[in-house]
Amino acid sequence: MANLSVNINKIATLRNSRGGNNPDLVKVALDCERFGAQGITVHPRPDERHIRYQDVFDLKAVIATELNIEGNCREQKFIDLVLANQPAQVTLVPDTEGQITSNHGWDTIKNQDYLREMVTLFKNAGIRVSIFVDPVTAMIEAAATTGTDRIELYTEAYAQHFHQDKAAAIAPYITAANKAIALGLGINAGHDLDLHNLQYFNQHVTNLLEVSIGHALIADALYLGLENTIQMYLRQLTN
């Protein structure tokens, strides 16, 4: 069964919109754990428009499940934050400054030497490393040469085409996963996975270890309640 890591960026966005500490980000993270989530994901950005750097320290001090910190490792402040907090996993994402959300994976061929350097840095600190990639065989092959532990498959294209032709939508991800397995890489996935498309993805992508889900899960929780929503997502990963 793949683990569910809940991305709580949207909770931080809501909190920041009014100042103060409502909703309480740390309490939400602890509740997500209590409701069954096996991990908490945060993706701090330089402008701190949602997750603040201090949030990461506060979360690391209390959560019992895996902490996954996503972000752009070209930012020294991000590197320092990860090394200071020693999360279970760091996910390297090629964000640009001011980017609303992640919208592409790494060009692991062009950035191969740089990524190898970053992977070595974090692994030497005892942190598991995952590289955010598109479902392209060449990119996965190049990712494997960096020494990364895992890749995270960027699933927006799958989500966009799922309702038109689910078999065609999943096909490149099956190929990508098979290549990753052959190369000894663990497989994570994330971006626009939801209650409609998650089960099918989980059923067809071999050896899926973790999904990171934020926007859809938090949006569903507005109608369904957080505990019920987490349980519904977990059920998609058991069938």
**Residues taking part in catalysis:** 43, 70, 191
* Residue 4 φ then ψ, to 5°: -105, 115
What does the block give as tokens for 126? 């005892």
Residue 63 and residue 30 in contact, taking contact as beta carbons nearer than 8 Å: yes
Of the candidates 225, 222, 210, the one whose C-alpha atom is nearest the C-alpha of residue 6 is 210
Question: What does the H/E/C string look like for 149-211?
Answer: CEEEEECHHHHHHCCCCHHHHHHHHHHHHHHHHHCCCEEEEECCCCCCCHHHHHHHCCCEEEE
Residue 209 and residue 190 in contact, taking contact as beta carbons nearer than 8 Å: no
Computed on alpha carbons and rounded to an integer, the radius of gyration of the chain in Å comes to 17
What does the block give as tokens for 43? 């993706």
69: amino acid identity, one letter: I
Count CB-CB contacts under 10 A for residue 210. Answer: 24
Pairing of strands 186-190, 150-154: parallel
Q: In which residue are the tokens 């960096």 written? A: 146
